[in-house]
């Protein structure tokens, strides 16, 4: 039985991916922050479903912004499992507002979850993934890791960084037998759009006048769409994760767009030959593709 670790499993994509993998025969470590506090009901819900359906799910505490928390989980997994095959980096938060008006501390907080959190978990579990016969890392990115959305600037920056990190890892880990893929979701009704804080730099905010209302208007438009019959189903992301895992080793795509794409598939198709040519011919590293 292959073993998977999923971050951010208390809701949305992480919760659905946990159930999808477990129902398809995987042993899943469903991790979340504050599993004995704010998210205790989600922990209990997953454990009840696991008992009812005879699923192999272990709910564990993990704060991807904490070195100590990542270390504690790593030690627990090593002691109880000894190995791991799949890491799904799903935990994330989204800051939506006037880009200039976010304080430096807020920008660091956004990156600490969306970017540095992925680095923490990847570094922690790569020694185990390298020992797997079919190790794979799947990072949940966003269309905003390829396209720039005004008023999503801090979030976009964190996802652009994640995309670069993921693609570099894919090349470097190929000779070691570990695959890396990125899933780029479009907008989905998971609550992520409303997960970030308000801007702290009030002086900068005031200089934008009536424009300060634009971010909340955008969110209201998305909220209306999410309540419509045309709203996409977040289960699509969980299905994409399963699809990538069950793709043959070495054939997994670097990027998989899921949901409304806003032209991201076209962008990826146009840039892929340029990137591959760069690796093959400019760098003479074609063996890494």
The residues assigned a catalytic role are 10, 141, 155, 159
| Residue of 106, 134, 151 lying closest to 248 (CA atoms) | 134
Return the residue matching tokens 């794409």. Answer: 261
Question: Can you say whether the dihedral through the CA atoms of 23, 24, 27, 33 is positive or negative?
Answer: negative
Between β-strands 27-32 and 178-185, what pairing exists: parallel, antiparallel or unpaired? unpaired
Over its C-alpha atoms, the chain yields an Rg (Å, rounded) of: 19
Give, as one character, the DSSP assignment of residue 233.
P
Query: How many whole angstroms separate alpha carbon 231 and alpha carbon 191?
Result: 13
Alpha-helical (H) ranges within the chain are: 12-23, 40-53, 67-80, 104-111, 117-131, 153-173, 202-206, 214-226, 235-245, 264-277
Separation CA 67–CA 208 (nearest Å): 38
């Amino acid at each position: 039985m292959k073993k998977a670790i999923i971050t951010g499993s208390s809701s949305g994509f992480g919760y659905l991916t946990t159930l999808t993998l477990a129902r398809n025969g995987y042993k899943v470590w469903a991790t979340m922050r504050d599993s004995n506090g704010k998210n205790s009901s989600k922990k209990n819900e997953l454990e009840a479903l696991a008992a009812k359906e005879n699923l192999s799910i272990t709910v564990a505490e993990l704060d991807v912004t904490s070195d100590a928390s990542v270390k504690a989980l790593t030690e627990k997994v090593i002691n109880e499992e000894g190995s791991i095959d799949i890491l799904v980096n799903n935990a994330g938060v989204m800051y939506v507002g006037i880009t200039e008006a976010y304080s430096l501390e807020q920008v660091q907080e956004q990156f600490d979850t969306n970017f540095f959190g992925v680095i923490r978990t990847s570094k922690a579990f790569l020694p185990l993934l390298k020992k797997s016969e079919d190790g794979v890392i799947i990072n949940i990115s966003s269309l905003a890791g390829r396209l720039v959305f005004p008023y999503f600037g801090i979030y976009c920056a964190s996802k652009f960084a994640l995309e670069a990190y993921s693609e570099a890892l894919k090349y470097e880990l190929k000779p070691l037998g570990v695959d890396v893929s990125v899933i780029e979701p479009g907008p989905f009704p998971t609550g992520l759009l409303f997960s970030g804080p308000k801007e702290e730099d009030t002086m900068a905010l005031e200089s934008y006048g009536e424009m300060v209302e634009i971010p909340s208007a955008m969110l209201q438009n998305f909220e209306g769409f999410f309540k419509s019959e045309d709203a996409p189903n977040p289960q699509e992301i969980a299905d994409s994760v399963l699809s990538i895992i069950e793709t043959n080793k070495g054939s997994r795509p670097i990027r998989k767009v899921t949901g409304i794409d806003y032209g991201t598939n076209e962008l990826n198709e146009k840039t892929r030959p340029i990137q591959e040519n760069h690796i093959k011919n400019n760098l003479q590293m074609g063996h890494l593709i």
